[in-house]
Every structure is written in structure tokens, then in C-alpha cells.
Amino acid sequence: MRHRSRARTALLAVLVAVGVLTTSCGLPVDDGVRRSGTVRPDVAERRGGFLELPPPPQPKADPATIVSGFLDAQISGENRHEVSRKYLLPSTVWDDEAGVTVYSTAGRRTEKLVEGDPSVPGPLTYQVSFKEVGTIGPDGAATVRPPVQRSVMFRLVRDGGGEWRIDGLPGGLLLSTDTRDAAFRPFDVFFLPVGAAGPHLVVDRQLLPLGSGAEELVRRVLAPPSTGLADSGATAAPPGLGLVAPVRVDASGAATVDLGEAAAGLVPSAREALATQLVWTLRQVPNLLRLQLLVQGQPFLADGEALNVRNAFPAADPQGDQQLATAVVDGRLRAVGDALLPASVRQATSVLDLAVDPRSERVALLAGPADDVTLRVGGFAGPLATVAKGRGLLSPTWGDGTYGVWMLRTGANPGVLVSRGGGKPQPVSFPGLPKLDSSATLRVSRDGARVLLVSDGQLLVARVVPSPAGQLPRLVDVRQLRVSGTVAADWLDATTLAVLVSELRPLLLVSVDGVSQETVNQPLQEVLAQSVAASGDLPLLVGAVAAVAAEPATAGPELPVGTPSAAPSGKPTGEQSGVPAPDPTPTEAAPEARLFSGLPRQAFELKLKDALRPRYPG
């Protein structure tokens, strides 16, 4: 176990206050705290050191070309979409911070809606039709949805020079999937967990304009989470907290964040909690090494020292600190790698699955037979106490450990269950729960903020909403990610899933909002991948089954080519003798379980034979 820093005490002290605030008043944001920055993507292609911006409107361009040019120029947010605004009349009002509508790259059409004579001043109305496939909110939360046909209207008139310009249009940006990926970049913004028992942070994935740097990330920390995390997280910053000065990273890798007057009233534990949020979020700024925190020019933390951005507050890690990897081999647990199994599980038999709490020395073990499964829970040192027995229990998972162990129950009364404090498992609401098959997978993210569920080829994610003390959590915002034929999945980190899909079983990395899907490993040869375990920078573990053919039967020693039969003279062989000849056809053998290991974008290697259900803590 890694040493836990002073962040444990600080965050624990502030969590109660945060929970009260978020329940009672929703942490409103003052107008001075910008929830969505001006879209400033520095997305134009750089060649030879020159910045190539989209072209401005050309002389004598027709109305349809003006509308298309305006939309295409939105890839550049430089100076509040300066190029796009050149397609507008100077007096036209356009809110470029009203969110983003994302449409399919193919199929956008621009056409005149109302008949008119382009040779006269106008006005003319043009309609742009497209298939909407997602959005990016002003808070950075992204959504993906099945294509929906939509259209928006643009009104055009001639300006004083006789050129067509737009004088009426909807707010926000309209980007294709290609231009979205060129103009926005995902960032992890770190918040305090609401209702959690530990000192760790939770993660909010936000899409921010390309070119967003340290200052924009600081502002995101000072604001509440996006709708992607919502009331599952909160900031330690008081409402209305702003910055006294811009945030800049100097040549030595140092930056100063000077907070406004509202931070002066924060107690020491809340100050350290906010510092923890800032440090973990600003680790994504490549050249930032040291962070000096001030409040109106005075030291923000008691010691006044600059923080090492790369290694401060290790106990706040959303992944936890347990790294024990296990697999089931012939009904017994075996460590994957050099780690030693805890005494409480080393001698267990008929094991079906094991889950380890990533932050404590707690384990949850499922043991067979399959028609009468036993759930035993306890510490590494043991003993393990029987918590539940019954048919159809599977896929134990701890998440961050706040609510005890979660699991699935299949059969006549399917559901998601939680056992708090070693008590009887209780059902948790899961709206839209699909049919649970015998290989269904449930995993709670290690920061405790989300769950994933795989069953019947579907991949669903939901958000964990804390509940009052002593009550069960709620699962809300259930969404099916568009990954067809999912076989198994695990949390690589708090906002990324490692997903095995059917057919050829490639391994994908999928963002929790579904925006990003990347194939990172090609299928393993001659095996059928069935399960996956992932955890941060550790090697991926894939459990697979391969059918191995037995050796063909032989009648005796192999003879050299051209050698006459060794049968005695006059003694017929095979059918002539009435004795069947050996069948050279291989006989089918039982499937063989294999465990493979490897890093993304690298070839997997065989790690263990006869191994099933690889697991990392969580």
C-alpha cells in the first residue's frame, strides 16, 4: 500500500460540507465564473510555421456559398470566430458560446428555402439540412446519439457593397464529426466525490476548445461539474470565486494561480481540497511543473510553498492504490505477476470470481457450485464471512468501496445488488436494465462515480448518485454506448473503458461519453476472447478460450517415405483383416483457457494457461 498523504484528512473534512451544499443549494455559479470559455480552437493546420486560417468570404459569392463558408470557418475559434463573423453583417448578433451541434460528416445540404431573386437586395432564407449525431454543451459535456434529421435557417441580405451576408442565424456552433475532433480536445477535470468515504477525487470528462490551457482548466475547476458528472461531484471553490490575474506558465515550468476574495474565507481543509483539485487537473498542461497558489497575493496554503504538480496529493488518485491482479485457475485463485495472494483467499476452492477494493484490504469472493453461489467478504488477513448465497450471483465489484460490494443477480429476479457493511445484498434501481445473461459484467469505476454493464451484446453506463447516510445509492442517466456486439468491458480509468467486441474480438478504448472509439489491439489469433481486465498504465489482461485438437492416433512408428508395409507377408491389414485401421483424423479436445497480457497498441503474449476471469482491483 502506498503512503497516504495529508490530503486524506483534508478531503474527509470537507466532504461533509460539500455534501450539504450540493444538496441544499446546488452550488450556483456566479456570473463572474465562466462555465464555458469562448471557443478558441487553434485548429488551422500549421505548415512551415505558418498558421492557415479558413478563407474569408470571396467577392461576388452567392448566398449558398456564403452559408457554407460560414459553417466551414467555424473550425477556427480564433478571436471569437473572427473568420466566421466576416460572413455576417456587422450588426448581426451571434452567440458562439451557446453550445455545439454535431452532425454526420456526410449529407449536409444547403438550399434556398423561400423563392427569391438573388439579383435584388433580398432578404433570402436558406436552409441547412443535416443528420445530428451529438452535442457539446457550454459546460463541455458531450453526447452521442443515433442520427436525427434536422435543419436550421439562415437569413441573408446584401450589405452596403452589394455582397451577400448573413443577418439572422441560430446560436451556437454547427460542426461535423471531423471538425469537432479537430476543434475540441478532451480534458479530465477533477472534483470532490459527494457522499464518498475516501479522500480520492472523481473525474469529469469535458471537451474544451483546442488551445485551452492552464487558465481555462483553472476556471473549470472553480465551476461546478458538467452535466456528465453533475451531482456526483462538487468543487471546493465557493460560489463566485474568480481569478485576480491571468494564469501563465513561465519558461521554468512554474505557474501562479491568484484566487479572488471569495477564497479568503475557506478553512484549511477546504483550501487543501481545492489545491488537490487544481494540481490533478493541471497535470494535463505539458510544461507545467510547479504551482504557486495565492489568494489576493497572499499564500493560499499554510506552508506557502509551491506545489510539485507531478506528484503532490497522491492519495487523491481516482484509481486507488491496490494493484493486485488475479485470475481463476482450476477453481483456485492465482496472482498474475509477482504479487502474493492474501491469506484469506489463497486456499479458497471452487472460486468463480474475486473483487478487491482498490483502497482497502477488503476482498469479495464468489465460490461455486454455480447453482448455489456463495458470496464471502472480509479483509486480506481473513476470515471471510458468508454474506449471501443463491443462484445467479456474479461479477462482484467494489468501485471506490463507499457502498461496499456490488454484484449482479441473474435468473428469475435479475438486478444490480449492493451489500453495505457485510449486510444482505439489496437491489439498486437501474432504469432500463437489459436481459442479464450468464456472462454479464458489472464494473463500478474506481472513483465510484459511474458503473458499466455488459449483457446480451449491449454496453450501458450509468452515473452513481449518492444518497443520505444508510440508504442505497441511485443509478441515473443510464445510456447505451453505440458499441455493437460487446462481449466484456472494464474501466481503464475513470472516463475510459476497455471494451471487447464480438466477431473478431478487437479491443477498443471507448470514452465514457461515447465520443471516442479507438481500436488499440487486433484480435488474438485462434482464440475467442471472453473477458478483459484493465487498470491505468498496467498491462491489459484478456481471458480467452481456444479449442485444441488432440494428436491423431497412430498404429506404430512412422516409416520413411516409400518404405513397404511392415505387415508380415500374407497378413492383410485394415479392412482385409477385419481390424479397423487407425483414424488419422484429430479428435476434438475440450476448450483450453488462456490468459494474455499486453499494453495497448502492442501484441499480446500468453501469460497463463487454464486461467479464467482476469481481474484488477475495483
Does 305 score more than 50 pLDDT?
Answer: yes
- The overall average pLDDT reported for the chain is 84
C-alpha cell at 561: 517415405
pLDDT at residue 53, rounded to an integer: 78
Q: What is the pLDDT of residues 328-338, one digit of tens each?
A: 999 999 999 88
C-alpha cell at 309: 504538480
The amino acid at 447: D
Q: What is the pLDDT of residues 163-176, one digit of tens each?
A: 999 999 999 999 99
Taken in order 453, 457, 458, 459, the sign of the CA dihedral is positive
Taken in order 606, 507, 478, 464, the sign of the CA dihedral is positive
* Angstrom distance (rounded) from CA 313 to CA 317: 8
DSSP 243: B
C-alpha cell at 610: 487454464
Does 221 score more than 80 pLDDT?
Answer: yes
* Angstrom distance (rounded) from CA 159 to CA 151: 25
The structure's pTM equals 0.84
* Angstrom distance (rounded) from CA 444 to CA 490: 9
C-alpha 170 chain-centroid distance:
32
Give the pLDDT mean for 19-30.
Answer: 32
- Residue in 399, 348, 400, 402 with CA at minimum distance from that of residue 374: 348
Measured in residues, the chain has a length of 618
- Phi then psi for residue 591, to 5 deg, are -60, 145
pLDDT at residue 570, rounded to an integer: 35
Q: What is the pLDDT of residues 593-603, one digit of tens each?
A: 999 999 988 88
Reported as a pLDDT band with limits 50, 70 and 90, residue 590 is low
- Phi then psi for residue 460, to 5 deg, are -120, 150
Judged on CB neighbours under 10 Å (0-12, 13-18, 19+), 270 is buried
Are the C-beta atoms of 194 and 234 separated by less than 8 Å? yes
Reported as a pLDDT band with limits 50, 70 and 90, residue 554 is very low
The amino acid at 317: D
Count other C-beta atoms under 10 Å from residue 68's C-beta: 17
- Residue in 216, 213, 211 with CA at minimum distance from that of residue 41: 211
CA Rg value for the chain: 30
pLDDT at residue 28, rounded to an integer: 28
Are the C-beta atoms of 614 and 488 separated by less than 8 Å? no
Give the pLDDT mean for 410-426.
Answer: 91
H or E element at residue 174: strand 173-176
- Residue in 131, 125, 53 with CA at minimum distance from that of residue 86: 53
* Angstrom distance (rounded) from CA 314 to CA 335: 25
* Angstrom distance (rounded) from CA 95 to CA 33: 18
Pick 533 or 588 by higher pLDDT.
533
Beta bridge partners of 367: 351, 374
Are the C-beta atoms of 33 and 223 separated by less than 8 Å? yes
Reported as a pLDDT band with limits 50, 70 and 90, residue 556 is very low
Q: What one-character-per-residue DSSP string does 461-524 give? A: EEEEE--STTS--EEEEEEE-S-TTEEEEEEEETTEEEEEESTT--EEEEETTSS-EEEEEPPP
Which of these ranges, 104-118, 353-367, 507-521, has the smallest mean pLDDT?
A: 104-118
Reported as a pLDDT band with limits 50, 70 and 90, residue 33 is very low
> Among residues of the chain, what percentage have pLDDT more than 70?
82
C-alpha cell at 7: 490530503
pLDDT at residue 455, rounded to an integer: 95
Reported as a pLDDT band with limits 50, 70 and 90, residue 22 is very low
